[in-house]
Structure 1
């Protein structure tokens, strides 16, 4: 949902509001997987208390305080069509990418959960919906479920530092065109619902990257097992809430997904997305079965 400024938050029995607590130094993948599953259950039921939490928990949507029990996305039951989870055992955090195609109110979410002890101590949700950047949840689902983001064999995994460097190189390119980005070939970018992949061996992500755009206040979820980096950030002069999620194989970028909230501006100030697609149907390529 779009929020105009800071919304009021409803406290409940576990005092789900207040100052953030620091994330712990490390935790097990099994713990994070269990909490991730509880988050999906909670979002499906619209019941935040399904998630083990600490005594003080922050819940934000699009970098503004919100409520997980009244008004926020987590407070309403949703039929989740697809999700993918990333686990950072070093920073003890989770990133969930969620697609909801309900025609009455579709969403694409990128949710960062920070963990302390055995529970979640903060939620940051980037919420994209109708009129947000290149939004079409059904087409996002169509492309996302066709990609292979499976486990990287242990011998082929990049280090945490290598993964972060690859993601940062791409994000730095928005403000510095001299940056050398480790492009993979093929590479496909799913920007909102616009897809650069055609299912060809020469597919490229090095298309349409703007310039003079700062990608600021980056926060990372790095999963070496899956070769992924999720980044929550503030994009451009309007500091738009944004998530970029990277799949990196052998040090090179293979897939990029973005989730961007445009606030009160339809399609972030560009012309309506439906007009863009009507003029250029290739924005939504048909990949076959």
Structure 2
């Protein structure tokens, strides 16, 4: 019986997702701060954790940090970052209203042995879906994405399941989505919320759309999950859907969709 118990515990440990030993919140926060400073300066040189073998994409196309958006200095109005200690990854949202290069950017970074080995960036600008950085900034500043107390935090599985249900309903309207009430969706610069207790995100969802190639960054302390995906099938548009989950229900949704 003792042997069976030991084997059972070992199997559970192998199956369960575990935080990477050298991946701490302070490491991820430091790298994210470096990334934001680098984008402000227009030079990737300040990202100390950047691997020499970095895999970098911009709007789902292979690129380099030397010639991509990181090479352009941006005046950033607002940032929001989340940290995934299990996958050792981060997500950062940047809002830029400066008329020189208005944009809303989402970046996922993934780490191996303390270094950023993969960086995927989505850059939305004029011509992209519902693009309006001034409106995006206005609404983003009204929301509460602060730390959730320990006793009220959802598990990683619950957070991802809520996001997947939302994304799955685009294809299958029988899917049960854990809608929160209120729930507010910031889609480009368009906002579904009106500041009332009955605000809903269950509006304007199209039919028969595949949202595939999902890449997750989950932060249980903030109740968040960001999902990079292809909107409309394997060769669809580059897209980010970020969710705030509270008590198993969807509270906020932020979307970026590259059209140009």
Asked if these proteins are the same fold (TM beyond 0.5), I'd say yes
CA–CA separation in structure 2 for the residues paired with 1:150 and 1:178: 32
Q: What TM-score do you get using the length of structure 2 for normalisation?
A: 0.90
What is the root-mean-square deviation of aligned Cα atoms in Å? 1.3
User: Is the contact between residue 85 and residue 95 of structure 1 (CA under 8 Å) also seen in structure 2?
Assistant: yes
CA–CA separation in structure 2 for the residues paired with 1:138 and 1:86: 22
1:78 and 2:74 matched: yes
Corresponding residue number in structure 2 for 1:255: 252
Q: Stretches of 4+ moved more than 3 A in 1?
A: 23-26
Corresponding residue number in structure 2 for 1:189: 185
Corresponding residue number in structure 2 for 1:228: 224
User: Is the contact between residue 20 and residue 85 of structure 2 (CA under 8 Å) also seen in structure 1?
Assistant: no
Corresponding residue number in structure 1 for 2:203: 207
1:120 and 2:110 matched: no
Q: How many residues align?
A: 240
Q: CA deviation at 1:55?
A: 2.8
Corresponding residue number in structure 2 for 1:180: 176
In the alignment, structure 2 segments of 5+ residues that lack a partner are 1-18
Q: CA deviation at 1:146?
A: 0.7
User: Is the contact between residue 84 and residue 98 of structure 1 (CA under 8 Å) also seen in structure 2?
Assistant: yes
User: Is the contact between residue 111 and residue 124 of structure 1 (CA under 8 Å) also seen in structure 2?
Assistant: yes
- Describe the SS at the equivalent of 2:256: strand
User: Is the contact between residue 230 and residue 246 of structure 1 (CA under 8 Å) also seen in structure 2?
Assistant: yes
- Equivalent residue for 2:57, pick from 60, 66, 70: 60
Corresponding residue number in structure 1 for 2:99: 103
Residues 153/132 of structure 1: CA separation in 2 closer, same or farther (3 Å cut): same
Corresponding residue number in structure 2 for 1:148: 144
Residues 84-111 of structure 1: CA deviation (Å, up to 9, x unaligned)? 0010000000000110111122110110
Q: CA deviation at 1:119?
A: 1.9
User: Is the contact between residue 25 and residue 85 of structure 2 (CA under 8 Å) also seen in structure 1?
Assistant: yes
In the alignment, structure 1 segments of 5+ residues that lack a partner are 1-22, 264-289
- Describe the SS at the equivalent of 1:169: helix
- Describe the SS at the equivalent of 2:245: strand
